[in-house]
């Protein structure tokens, strides 16, 4: 059951709506100095990108009043932008398509829209643009998840600033999800600092999962001895779980360890980290030791897992 949003949230959403409608020119009578309103431009766009839709299909897709849409289509037809033909299976239904003049109008509208979007992005510092794009994608995903297109993610090597992110996100997420105290964040900071100070690129590695400049997860593979490597600090952001990122990060650790000539890969975790343990087990790790302990402000059961390479 969802709760009723607070009045502050309602006010903030309304304020954003007023701001954004001003930004994209909804309040102007015509869009981008053309002869078309925003609604007309949107209908022309749909006509250009759909395969002979009916008026009913357009109305449902854009949630437009049937009478309003009918008058708009009639105007397009009178202006020579629109063609109608009877559907072969039902002569009562009209299939709609743009004429050559209609396609030319859409080409001009899209060119002007591209230029306006480029100008808006160009007004921002290059470092700010990914933030804007991520925020827009977040709004789309939250308000209409089914319509939001999938966005690919990739793995990359660590670089300056990443260790700070890893420490910060471990501290925040483990406190939020498991109630662990600051001593865990301190441990993560020690591990990250040790990795940087003693980094051996031939035998160790750190991977981060990233999408459009946003970090989604991370993991370390560090040298334990000449024959044993340790997997450490696997983390996947809550919003990115279910995308296969954790599995892929662990797979990269296993592949790297084999290439580096290690004979065994080990890791230490706690029994409350159920999702992570499932990933380790699926990768072939086997539980070899369990031991209760009190750490990070909690009574826990530590587990050692191993994978023979």
Q: CA 206 → CA 137, 155, 217, 247, 251, distances in Å?
A: 27, 10, 11, 15, 13
- Clarify whether residues 189 and 248 are in a common domain: yes
Q: Is residue 142 part of a domain?
A: no
Domain boundary among 104, 123, 142: 123
Q: Which two tokens stand for residue 198?
A: 């003693």
Q: Is residue 108 part of a domain?
A: yes
Per residue in 12-29, pLDDT (tens digit) is 888 888 888 888 777 777
- Clarify whether residues 161 and 211 are in a common domain: yes
Per residue in 86-96, pLDDT (tens digit) is 888 887 888 99
Ranges of the chain whose pLDDT falls below 50: 1
Which CATH number do you get for residue 52? 1.10.10.10
Q: CA 189 → CA 170, 185, 203, 237, 270, distances in Å?
A: 9, 6, 21, 18, 19
Q: What is the model's pLDDT at position 1?
A: 44
Q: Is residue 69 part of a domain?
A: yes
Cα 233 to Cα 269: distance, rounded to the nearest angstrom = 9
Q: What is the model's pLDDT at position 5?
A: 64
- Clarify whether residues 235 and 114 are in a common domain: no
Q: Is residue 147 part of a domain?
A: no
Residue at token pair 């921002």: 124
Q: Which pTM was predicted?
A: 0.60
Q: What is the model's pLDDT at position 284?
A: 95
Positive/negative CA dihedral, 32, 34, 39, 44 = negative
Q: Which domain holds residue 109?
A: 7-123
> What is the domain count for the chain?
2
Q: Is residue 141 part of a domain?
A: no
Q: What is the model's pLDDT at position 268?
A: 97
Residue at token pair 């501290």: 171
What is the CB neighbour count within 10 angstroms for residue 12?
12
Q: What is the model's pLDDT at position 132?
A: 87
């Amino acid at each position: 059951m969802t709760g009723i949003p607070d009045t502050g949230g309602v006010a903030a959403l309304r304020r954003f709506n007023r701001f954004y409608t001003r930004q994209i020119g909804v309040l102007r009578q015509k869009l981008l100095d053309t002869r078309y309103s925003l609604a007309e431009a949107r209908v022309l766009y749909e006509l250009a990108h759909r395969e002979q839709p009916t008026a009913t299909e357009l109305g449902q897709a854009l949630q437009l009043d049937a009478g309003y849409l009918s008058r708009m289509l009639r105007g397009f037809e009178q202006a020579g932008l629109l063609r109608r033909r009877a559907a072969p299976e039902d002569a009562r239904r009209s299939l709609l398509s743009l004429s050559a003049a209609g396609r030319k109008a859409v080409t001009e509208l899209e060119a002007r829209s591209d230029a306006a979007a480029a100008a808006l992005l160009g007004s921002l510092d290059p470092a700010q643009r990914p933030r804007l794009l991520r925020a827009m994608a977040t709004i789309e995903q939250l308000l209409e998840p089914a319509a939001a297109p999938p966005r690919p993610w990739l793995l990359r090597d660590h670089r300056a600033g990443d260790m700070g992110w890893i420490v910060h996100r471990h501290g925040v997420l483990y406190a939020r999800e498991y109630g662990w105290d600051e001593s865990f964040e301190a441990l993560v900071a020690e591990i990250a600092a040790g990795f940087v100070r003693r980094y051996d690129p031939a035998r160790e590695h750190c991977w981060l999962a990233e999408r459009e400049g946003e970090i989604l997860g991370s993991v370390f593979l560090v040298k334990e001895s000449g024959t044993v490597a340790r997997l450490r600090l696997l983390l996947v952001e809550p919003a990115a779980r279910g995308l296969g990122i954790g599995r892929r990060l662990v797979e990269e650790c296993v592949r790297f360890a084999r290439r580096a000539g290690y004979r065994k890969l080990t890791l230490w975790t706690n029994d409350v980290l159920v999702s992570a343990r499932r990933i380790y087990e699926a990768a072939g790790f086997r539980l070899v030791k369990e031991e209760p302990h009190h750490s990070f402000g909690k009574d826990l059961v530590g587990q050692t897992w191993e994978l023979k390479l």
